[in-house]
Structure formats: structure tokens, C-alpha cells
Chain A
């Protein structure tokens, strides 16, 4: 059975949301301790208009922006060095993969040990949690210049530094952008983990605080917000960026 005509593709995500909301509402009706979607939405609305909460949110946003900027610089920078210079590759190549293999949350203890319960510790967690994937993807991107592109560039007189900047770097861009998109997701998780454990004022710390009071409706409201921000930033910025690059590069 089809609820909507096939053409209405833009309605499909709405269908899914409506279905999940329905399920949620049904659960709330059947399980008395489970808050209804409307109640969670109301709490979320109330929190968003609360100045203290807004400050916490702004704090999270600031740390994410700083952390992500560092991820871009360090991830792309080291990725380029690893891919370009064999000596750096030998020293740092497997290190980058190892860093990438450690979940963001696992960096928090070390971050606290080094920086204490500070904002720096949270930024450090984001950096280590998300820079690895950018390094790995940048490295892969600059190693995998399509042979035809390489040959064409060489016969057109590109060599040395110019070859690197005008051919290798742009050829690697789709992979780098893919890495940056993944890094947003990893960084966002690392931010939450960092704030949860360091109790630096922010969304994660709020989550921790309401968990201690046992207020399930508030907990759900904050988790919903974390998910919404994660999905919204990915959809509005990174997915679009990746798509635009893939189209331009003839990959989509």
C-alpha cells in the first residue's frame, strides 16, 4: 500500500518522521513512564529559550568551531605531508591510522590528565577524535591521482611544486571533502564525550546533569537536540558540499 504518490520524493523523509513519531506516541500511551513526543518538544522549546541553556549551547558551538578548525588544519596538513614525503609517511603514516582507530571518547582521560577539566581538554578530544580520518583520506586522495590525469598534466609541462598544487591537490579534493564530512560526525561525538566527562558547561554537560536527576523527558529532549544538530549540520553543509564536489569532479 502506498501512502503517497511515487513522485512526492520530498515527502518520504516526512513519512518516515511521521511514522517514528507515531510509534513514539503509541509507546508513550502504552508505557506510562515514557514521555510523549509533545512533552519532549515542549521541554526542548523551554530549554532553548532559557538563557543559561543558550550559554551552554553557545559554549558547545564555540568549542566545536575551534576544534573543527584545528581538525581541518592538522588533518589536511599532516595528510598532505604523509602523502607527499616518504619519510613523514614512515614516521607518521601508521600513527595517523592508529589515531583514527581510537574512538573520540577514549581520548578524554588523557585530555583531562593533560589539560584538566577545561575547555582545552574538550577541544583536544575533538582534534584527536576527528583529525585521523581527515589525514587518512587526504593521504589516500593525493596518492590516488588518476593515471590519465597525471599523464595529461605531465605532457602539459606540470612538474614539481606546480604539479602538486595544481594537479595533486585538486585531484585529492573529493576524498578530502569526504574526510571532512566524516570528521564532522566524529568531532560532534567527541565534543559530547568531552563535555560529558569534563563537565565544561555545554550540551554534553547538560545531558550529564539531567541524567543525574533522572528526568527522562529532559534527557530525551537533549538527546533529540544532539541528534538534530548533528543531522542538520551534515545535511545543510557537508552533504551539499560533498555532492557539489562530486558533481563537478564528474563522480556523481
Chain B
């Protein structure tokens, strides 16, 4: 499935006035493609996910899936949220079975399918556990299994690994790539982590701060798994950080009400010294 935003505008009411979040945003994710969107915090990245998922409607412009306008949420476009968003009253198995149950799949079949996807994310031993008994990384694995079990054509991921430690994040990134190679869903992945974006995606969109506009698209044709020290990868990262640096200055200026210069050195910090290059 191909997902497309065509000249999308979106604003939200906030404290009595209207805040423009997306300003004329157009982007395309081809069927089977892995696309990342990076941008400064609060730039409306989640809004893009919500629009694609059908949880929000654009004020103007169109959100299209295979050329058809999105009218609401649909299990063919599953979302993995930053906070896992598991149902606390269901076990791990119950969570993964949830979407299948909503789809009306019979008990034995949904159990079989859920267990299959729990194996895929290495959680076979925790099927009876409740979310509150799991670590953050395990919860996120459950959320991924829950989405994948529906065998969605489109997987929308909203900073899914942002709250995890660096090691867990690296492991889950690799697992995600393996799963993607296996089933080839269309993946749209939002992150503020430049290294993560360049490590995963075929293409990386770079968003500006509010109101969000797209500043750049980097096409990364390196084979996976990608080496963190690959000079081509570093060049991509450098260019993206260049765009983002300007944006971060803008955000800080707005928030602090004065000129803040974002030191150039920050852009050149080698990735191993700033794990994840959070911005």
C-alpha cells in the first residue's frame, strides 16, 4: 500500500488561539518502502502519524492510501505508539490477540497467530504476563507483535523506541528490519533520532519546526545492516543535522525569546559519543 499526504494543512486550538502544526506538507511512502520522518520535538510528527492512521482529519489537503482518501482508522494501517499503549487489563497474549478478536477471527486461529508473532519478537515465555510486569523494551515488543499480528499493509511507528535505552533500541531496530525484510509492509517511522532514521530508512524526510514544512529528503541506498561508521551514512547524518540545527535554533529562539546560537561543534560530534544524536 502506498501512503501519501498531499498539501496537508493542520492546526489545533491551544489556549484560546490556533496553532498551525502542519503547513502544506506533501510526502509519499511507496508500497513496501521504509520511510522515516525526523524533526525537532513538537514539530507535528505525531500528527502526521495520526493523519495517516485516520485518527485525525486534515484541515486542507488530502491523505491518500493507494489513491483513496483515508476516512478513519483501519486495521490495515496499524500504529505502534511511543508508550506501547498496551491494554493493561489484558495479558501479553490477550493484547496480541486483541486486533484479531476485533477482526472476528476464531479463538484457536487467533491464538495460533498471536503466538507466532510473539515468537517473532522473542516473547514466547511471557505470554501470560501482564504489561505492568514487563520492561519498557518488552512492552514495545508486545506492541509491535500486536500490530504485526494483523498483517497490516502499512505500519505506522510513532517514536516507538524513543523511551528505551540504547542497547534495547539497537536490538529492536535490528528485529524490526528483519521483520520488514520478511513481510515487507510499508513502514512510516517517526523519530527525532537522526542516527536511527539513517540506519533504518530507504528515505528520510526532514521536517522543520512548527508549523511543520518538509525541508529535505535524503535517499539512503546503503544495504542493511548499515555500519554506524560508514562515511556515506555519516554524510547523510551530517546533512540532516545541518537542517535540524537551524530548526533547533529557531525553536530555542521562540521558547527563550532571545538569540541562541546552536554551536556548530554539536553537529560534528561523532555518533559514538552522542548515542542516538538526540535533538
Give residues in A with beta carbon < 8 Å to B: 148-149, 151-159, 162, 166-167, 170-171, 173, 247-250
Contact = CB atoms under 8 A, between A and B. Distances in A.
22 contacts: A148-B81, A148-B83, A151-B79, A151-B85, A152-B85, A152-B86, A153-B98, A155-B53, A155-B77, A155-B156, A156-B75, A156-B99, A156-B146, A157-B102, A158-B98, A159-B102, A166-B98, A166-B101, A167-B87, A248-B130, A249-B88, A249-B89
B103 interface: yes
Interface in B122-159: 130-132, 146-147, 150, 156
Contacts of B50: 151
Contacts of B86: 152
A152 B132 contact: no
A156 B102 contact: yes
B55 interface: yes
A151 B131 CA distance: 18
B38 interface: no
Residue among B102, B132, B146, B147 with the highest chain A CB neighbour number at 10 A:
B102
Interface of B: 50, 53-55, 72-75, 77-79, 81, 83, 85-90, 98-99, 101-103, 130-132, 146-147, 150, 156
B-side interface mostly = loop
B88 A155 contact: no
B89 A155 contact: no
B83 A157 contact: no
A156 B132 contact: no
Contacts of B81: 148, 151-152
A157 B55 contact: no
B87 A149 contact: yes
Contacts of B55: 151, 154-155
A156 B130 contact: no
Closest 4 CB pairs of A and B: A157-B75, A156-B99, A152-B85, A157-B102
A247 B99 contact: no
Residue among A151, A171, A247, A248 with the highest chain B CB neighbour number at 10 A:
A151
Given A158-B102, A170-B87, A250-B88, 20 more contacts: A148-B81, A151-B79, A153-B87, A154-B55, A155-B53, A155-B73, A155-B75, A156-B146, A156-B147, A157-B74, A157-B75, A157-B102, A157-B103, A166-B98, A166-B101, A166-B102, A170-B90, A171-B89, A248-B88, A250-B132
A170 B94 CA distance: 13
Contacts of B78: 155-156
Nearest to A152: B85
A152 B88 CA distance: 12
A157 B147 CA distance: 11
A248 to B, nearest CB: 6
Given A148-B81, A151-B55, A248-B130, A156 B89 contact: no
Contact of A156 (B54, B83, B98): B98
A247 B88 CA distance: 9
B222 to A, nearest CB: 31
A166 B95 CA distance: 11
Nearest to B77: A155
Contact of B89 (A159, A162, A248): A248
Contacts of B79: 151-152, 155
B151 to A, nearest CB: 12
Contacts of A171: 89
A63 to B, nearest CB: 33
A200 B146 CA distance: 57
A87 B16 CA distance: 30
Contacts of A250: 88, 131-132
Contacts of A151: 50, 53, 55, 73, 79, 81, 85
Nearest to B83: A148
Nearest to A158: B102
A167 B132 CA distance: 17
Contact of A173 (B53, B89, B150): B89
A166 B146 CA distance: 15
A143 B251 CA distance: 36
Contacts of B88: 248-250
Contacts of B146: 156
Given A154-B55, A166-B102, A148 B85 contact: yes
Residue among A152, A157, A162, A173 with the highest chain B CB neighbour number at 10 A:
A152
A250 B95 CA distance: 15
A165 to B, nearest CB: 11
Contacts of B101: 166
A162 B85 contact: no
Contact of A170 (B85, B89, B156): B89
Given A148-B83, A151-B79, A157 B89 contact: no
A243 B102 CA distance: 30
Nearest to A247: B132
